[in-house]
């Protein structure tokens, strides 16, 4: 026996033409909803990447109070580089200027100068980029990293 039949004695299908249209319509709606959900989640993830500066400056402040200038600079240059990656150049410069204000000049490490160099490279400020390339190279040499200093010296000289 063949399943239900219509008045023409032809078998009816589980999905009639109208049923297929409704099914296709529902599938399209589901695809649009899934696409919107995925797009929304990606936007949320993109917007949720925030620099943890406010939450962890207490650690940097403790480093500074203990005169652990290297740890202080490593933390803050990390924040600065995060700001640069998010194209928040004003915030990056503010953080770097905080280092220069709070750390004695002879205790500045190459990483701080390198972060300034990175900032000015991203902003297209050639004069300051070359200045900080030279400062980075000089500090790297003092730190015994003359091989790494060569690339910054070449950049400072425009090679």
- The model's pLDDT over 87-140, given as tens digits with 9 standing for 90+, comes to 999 999 999 999 999 999 999 999 999 999 999 999 999 999 999 999 999 999
CA distance 106 to 110: 11
CB of 129 closer than 8 Å to CB of 158: no
Q: Per the confidence metrics, is the pTM higher than 0.85?
A: no
pLDDT of residue 106: 94
CB of 76 closer than 8 Å to CB of 42: no
pLDDT of residue 1: 47
Q: Token pair 């953080």 is at which residue?
A: 95
Per-residue pLDDT averaged across 50-75, rounded? 76
Rounded alpha-carbon distances, angstroms, from residue 89 to 17, 34, 80, 110, 142: 59, 36, 8, 20, 28
pLDDT of residue 37: 82
CATH number of 59-156: 1.25.40
């Amino acid at each position: 026996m063949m399943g239900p039949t219509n008045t023409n004695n032809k078998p009816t299908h589980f999905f009639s033409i109208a049923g297929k249209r409704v099914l296709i319509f529902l599938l399209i709606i589901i695809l649009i909803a899934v696409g919107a959900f995925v797009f929304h989640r990606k936007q949320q993830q993109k917007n949720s990447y925030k620099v943890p500066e406010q939450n962890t400056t207490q650690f940097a402040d403790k480093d500074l109070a203990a005169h652990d200038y290297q740890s202080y600079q490593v933390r803050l240059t990390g924040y600065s580089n995060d700001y640069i990656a998010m194209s928040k150049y004003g915030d990056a410069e503010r953080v770097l200027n905080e280092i220069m204000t709070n750390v004695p000049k002879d205790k500045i490490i190459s990483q701080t100068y390198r972060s300034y160099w990175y900032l000015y490279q991203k902003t297209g400020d050639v004069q300051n980029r070359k200045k900080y390339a030279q400062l980075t190279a000089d500090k790297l040499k003092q730190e015994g990293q003359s091989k790494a200093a060569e690339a910054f010296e070449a950049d400072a000289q425009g090679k």
